Structure 1
Amino acid sequence: MINSSFIRKENMGFDGENGIENEKAPNWATSIPVDNVQEMVRRNSYAVPEKYIRNLEDRHGNTCLFSASTNNIPVIDLSLLTDNCKEELKKLDLACAEWGFFQVINHGIAQETLLGMKDAAVSFFELPLEEKEKYSMPPNDIQGYGHAYVASTEQKLDWSDALIMVVYPTHYRKYKYWPATPPGLKDAIEAYSFEVNKVAKKLLSFLSLIVGMDKEGLLGMHKEIMQALRLNYYPPCSKPDQVIGLSPHSDTSTISILMQDEDVTGLQIRHHGEWVSVKPIPNSLVVNIGDVIEIWSNGKYKSIEHRAVINDQKARISYASFICPNDDVEIEPLKQTVGSQEPKKLYKKIRYGDFLRQSMKRKMEGKAHTDVAKIERNIEKDL
């Protein structure tokens, strides 16, 4: 068993030990404060305000909890990759190219650590609203408790609440938004995030190999891995087919690593134009390719739109870790993916911090945010 107090001492140093965040820790985006959905459901479980009701096009497929394609989502055995299994490496390549999503088994994170994170999160969301609001997001950032990506008072809202924290690098942490209650939540976040970080580094090493780099290639390009944790709380809804828990989007990360509740399905991914539900495998993690890998691979591996849907019976919590480069890293297609074919580059060079902030200050809208990194091409000239 990993001693999370030891992890905290080793990684934080003096400031972390005393809960004092670095005043130079960056901000990423603003988000307009909106009503707490969990509290709204608690007061009246039948009320669904108009600002949450989606049109037919937006909610198409919401009631599809499972599909014939569900079981086809690739499953990658991380222990086989670690043992240098070439067939498993080929499976990873196909999973990234054809799906952009896969589930990881035998990842090495102890079940005790996974359950500790889940139990602590449940306890936090069960706290009275006034206690949770002690950690509300500030006006100029998205760390804390509340809602991200609310760019306009006119936009339709997601049926969810969230707690968001930057975990690594430790000098980016803003401890005043790390809940002091329930007891054990901070330790659970430390232990879980530490283990996810190790899984992420292993996955980056194998992704490096399939794009034609040496094993440490992608990890080195990050300069310093940034890792954020988002705990999503999706209350039940009396009209689940008319709302969306989390709007369709792709992730601005390099990769994202998700732990799901095992007894309720809510994650859906867009595959060949259809929404496919991802049925949880016990003790597994769901991994998806982010926009950064799409850009580095020049579109060979695409970040895939995904969303969360709601049911009318039970709340759901998901645990999303986002693995990203340092703000100052410039991202563009790797020479391994385009060679000397400069005209074939689909994406221009862009500073990651600029890409991230431009994406986060707008509402979630599929992959529209990636336009800022795309090269405008003259189709007639290409032909």
Structure 2
Amino acid sequence: MASTQFSSIRAAPVQSVQELIKEPIPAVPQPFILDDPQPPILSASTPLPQLPTIDMKHLIMSETAGSELEKLHSTCKEWGFFQLVNHGVSSSLMEKLKSEIGEFYKLPLEERMKYKMRPGDVEGTGFLQSGQKIKSLTGVIGSLCELQKLAMMLLGFMAKALKLEKGEMEELFDDGMQSVRMTYYPPCPQPELLWGLRLTLMLPASPSFSKLMEWMILSNGVYTSIEHRATVNAAKERISIAMFFNPKSSAQIKPAASLINPQNPPLFKQVGMEKYFKDFFSRKLDGKSYLEHMKIKNEEA
């Protein structure tokens, strides 16, 4: 897994939520409250739309590949995320991953602090040095390798659906940056005041989902990107696992060359991957504001 350090990004120290809730708290401390005017309120009675489902087996089988590829294409255009089934990653492997991460969060604070974020890291993120191991996470690397293979297969099918030049996406994502964010959400006394993380490839207590990030730029706006949030629970803790698969640090993020022509000019600016990350994390996480920033305005065309 490759990682890039962004020394210009600074993060303020954040109190451990597990330590915070050792004693009952009647209300959420102010620093944790999201200043969003419309937080989501979900209940058992809230009607939810049917989530789009993509079957990896159907994408691979020649008899069903065409129709499933078209379904993938329309889902990426209209929804911006989907549930993936028959993906080949065993349920036992995913359960093992969730179990080992759960064991990590049961470690004493002093032990977990060995892997805390360093000055300059993005808030809530930590890195393992080469050779550094966490006993409770010994099986995680194998799980990540399986998910990386799955992500690369999905990239190939999405590129095919967009009719991109062969190898165009592989070149961007070959030796790309891969990271995992494991997030612990304690029982929350006021869940209506909080949102969780925005997610990419997620392994919650239910099936996995995929989200499009840089793809809105790479597809020149053909594929959409929506805001994804995890919600907290008032009665029980929650652990979510998000896998992030990004282009390599030397890549240029821009609309794919094979999609650009006089009738279809680029809608987004070109930016290096490192600058993309720096700019994204230096801004307040405010919906799609960064994507709007990346759009080419009429006066810039």
TM-score of the aligned structures, taking structure 1 as reference length: 0.71
**Hey, what does 2:261 align to over in structure 1?**
339
Determine the structure 1 residue equivalent to 2:48: 69
Instruction: Pick closer, same or farther for the CA change 1:43–1:215 going to 2, 3 Å.
Output: farther
1:227 to partner: Cα distance: 0.8
Taking a change above 3 Å as real, the CA distance of residues 181 and 373 of structure 1, as seen in their structure-2 partners, is: same
What TM-score comes out, normalization by structure 2 length?
A: 0.89
Determine whether 1:240 maps to 2:191. yes
Following superposition, the deviation at residue 285 of structure 1 comes to: 1.6
Report whether the alignment pairs 1:221 with 2:155: no
Residue 330, structure 1, aligned to residue 252, structure 2: yes
What is the deviation of 1:224? 2.1
Q: 1:180 aligns with which of 134, 158, 161?
A: 134
Match of 2:15 in 1: 35
- Between Structure 1 and Structure 2, the one with more strand by share is 1
Asked whether 1:86 is paired with 2:41, we answer: no
Aligned letter for 1:140?
G
- From the superposition, tell whether residues 118 and 328 of structure 1 become closer, same or farther in structure 2 (CA, over 3 Å): same
State the Cα distance separating 1:378 from its structure 2 match: 4.2
After TM superposition, the structure 1 = structure 2 runs for residues 148-187 of structure 1, keeping only pairs within 5 Å, are: 148=123, 162=124, 164-165=126-127, 174-175=129-130, 180-182=134-136, 185=137, 187=138
**Contact kept in structure 1, 2:165 and 2:258, CA below 8 Å:** no
Q: What letter matches 2:4 in structure 1?
A: P
How many residues get paired? 297
Partner of 1:209, secondary structure, is helix
Task: Indicate how the Cα distance of structure 1 residues 331 and 181 shifts in structure 2: closer, same or farther if over 3 A, else same.
Answer: same
Question: In 2 relative to 1, CA 304–66 (structure 1 residues): closer, same or farther, beyond 3 Å?
Answer: farther
Structure 2 letter corresponding to 1:118: K
Structure 1: unaligned runs, 5 residues or longer: 1-10, 12-21, 143-147, 149-161, 166-172, 263-283
CA spacing shift, 1:26–1:50, aligned 2, 3 Å: closer
**Deviation of residue 289 (structure 1)?**
0.8
User: For residues 125 and 268 of structure 2, what CA distance do their matches in structure 1 show?
Assistant: 32
Partner of 1:158: none
* Structure 2: 5+ residue stretches without partners: none
1:367 matched to 2:288 = yes
Residue 65 of structure 1 deviates from its aligned partner by: 5.8
Task: Give % identity.
Answer: 30
